[in-house]
Structures are given as structure tokens and as C-alpha cells.
Amino acid sequence: MLYYLDELLTAMDATPGRRWFNLASAVLTVVIFGALARAGVSSWVIVPAVCIEFLCHGALVAVWARKDAFDAYKQSERACEP
């Protein structure tokens, strides 16, 4: 499990675009859900919304990790060709 988490963290920081996306996503998530909580929106709405946001972000990071692994595999295959 720790290896998998390390792979996900590596995928999140692999490119400058991904780092900016993760930073912007974190800031927007905190601001939006903080504003909703401050406005008095029920936790029955906020908690599932936060969970859905985390699941969507996790799915995106998993796609990035798979893409990086596939690119590394293709690169190693090219290196092995005579």
C-alpha cells in the first residue's frame, strides 16, 4: 500500500502542470467548502461533496500514474530494441 501511495504522489508531482493543478485544486476545495460551511450549509451536503471531490481527484491521479507507468514501459521497450 505504501508503494502505491508513493507512486500516486510521484504521479501528482511529475510535471509542473500537475503540480499547479493540485495546488489550485486544493485551494479551491478549501475555499469553496469553507464558504459553504460558513454559510450554514448542512454537513449532510458538505461531507458527501468532499468525498466525491476526493474520489474524482483520486481517479485522476490514478490515470496519471497509469499513463506514467505505460510511458516508462514504452521507453524501456525502445531501449531494448536492437
Of 1 and 19, the structure prediction assigns the larger pLDDT to 19
Query: Where exactly are the structural domains of the chain?
Result: 2-80
**How far is residue 10's CA from residue 13's CA, in Å, rounded to a whole number?**
5
Distance CA 46, CA 36 (A): 7
What is the reported pTM? 0.72
Residue 20 predicted with pLDDT over 70 = yes
Count CB neighbours of 31 within 10 A: 10
Q: Which residue has the cell 485544486?
A: 25
